[in-house]
Structure 1
């Protein structure tokens, strides 16, 4: 029987975001790389690749926590016991009838899954909130000229973090569908509100279906200095 790794806190089955995605399941957990035990992968019943064995404790712990969350989310969704593998580009390999996404960082990991019948793609991302000084330095690298014009100086830390995170979630939702990489300048955050809702627009053609001008809804929440965002297509 698979057991919780020593480095992971108990799993949370919850939906902290403002808008449920029909059919989707989200599982998260805190993790501590300093508590990673030598047998944690074996304990959890998760395969440790050669490259993971050579990586630092932080990378091992975040991978393990993310996969533990993903397996638990799939079990909750339809009862299957499955751990997503890893593509060469390090993205998760989900079953063909599942759409999913994993995020981890700063001692917290989460996975979201949904049936392919519920959405075409889904992406989730977690970021630590940038302080205003760092956000100001990074703004020109992350924001389009239009986004920079709309930037509220009073909320620069939140605005830049949110734009970064939503574009990461957008990439995770659409890359598996199009297999085409795109970057910060290829999408635009049109609007966002304090209640956690947002709207994005593609600025590049990714496929015959996902063309420049296509708009998607996003959502986010802020807890304990961390921002969680999600985009579903």
Structure 2
């Protein structure tokens, strides 16, 4: 499998990152050994696309961690499938249709990071999935977002994915899309408030900011929890 160090995005969070393009259709199981990564037993029976995505994400993570002086570190998965980072490191991994990215930091003030790359949904998908991703009380803010962007639901979906990743390390339990409510946006930010108490330090009404950028029919969202 070809993995090429190229990035369509320049993340807005000031942390170490690696982004790569990869070719899932060229994946072979020997690629794990080639990139010095173990093939997890849980993925042995997975389809080639899933294995390729996992491998590309882990290669990004390993190279980003090397810049933080954690060479040869293998990012394993916990039982809940979350990445296991070195002690003192926060990070996040994402992949979408041949693009993978990882971001890491060893700043002790950072409690969590979340990034997500998505390819834009079709108009049909956006209509079909609105009820699963949006709250009824997001209608006004969502309409405003739609006046500035052709694929507003993709942006909100990606943002809520990044929020989940950023907060999960502290929350340590699943929470759904309805736990965060879009309230406003600007050219580079979407602002959300929590609609549920996810943790004693994350009560209802907590504001969560998400950076976003759209390039080449894709969106990158980034969320910082500190």
Same-fold call, TM cutoff 0.5: yes
* Aligned CA distance change for structure 1 residues 100 and 213 (closer, same or farther; 3 Å): same
The residue number in structure 2 matching 1:170 is 163
Q: 1:56 aligns with which of 21, 44, 47?
A: 47
Shift of 1:214: 0.7
Separation of aligned partners in 1, 2:2 and 2:82: 22
Instruction: Name which of structure 1's ranges 65-74 and 126-135 shifts more when overlaid on structure 2.
Output: 126-135
Shift of 1:211: 1.2
Separation of aligned partners in 2, 1:209 and 1:38: 43
| Structure 1 gap segments, 5+ residues each | 1-5
Shift of 1:15: 6.0
Separation of aligned partners in 1, 2:203 and 2:135: 18
Separation of aligned partners in 2, 1:15 and 1:141: 28
**CA deviation map 1:42-85 (0-9, x unaligned):** 11110112221211110110000000000011111235331210
The residue number in structure 1 matching 2:178 is 185
Separation of aligned partners in 1, 2:82 and 2:13: 24
Separation of aligned partners in 1, 2:29 and 2:173: 37
Q: Does 1:65 align with 2:56?
A: yes
Shift of 1:157: 4.5
Q: Determine if contact 1:188/1:200 at 8 Å carries over to the other structure.
A: yes
Secondary structure of 1:89's counterpart equals coil
Separation of aligned partners in 1, 2:166 and 2:142: 25
Corresponding pairs, count: 223
Separation of aligned partners in 2, 1:34 and 1:15: 23
Secondary structure of 2:151's counterpart equals helix
Secondary structure of 1:231's counterpart equals strand
Q: Determine if contact 1:192/1:199 at 8 Å carries over to the other structure.
A: yes
Shift of 1:7: 3.2
Separation of aligned partners in 2, 1:207 and 1:112: 24
The residue number in structure 2 matching 1:161 is 154
Residues 84-99 of structure 1 aligned to structure 2 (within 5 Å): 84-99=75-90
Shift of 1:217: 1.6
Q: Determine if contact 1:13/1:26 at 8 Å carries over to the other structure.
A: no
Instruction: Name which of structure 1's ranges 124-133 and 68-77 shifts more when overlaid on structure 2.
Output: 124-133
Separation of aligned partners in 1, 2:170 and 2:32: 30
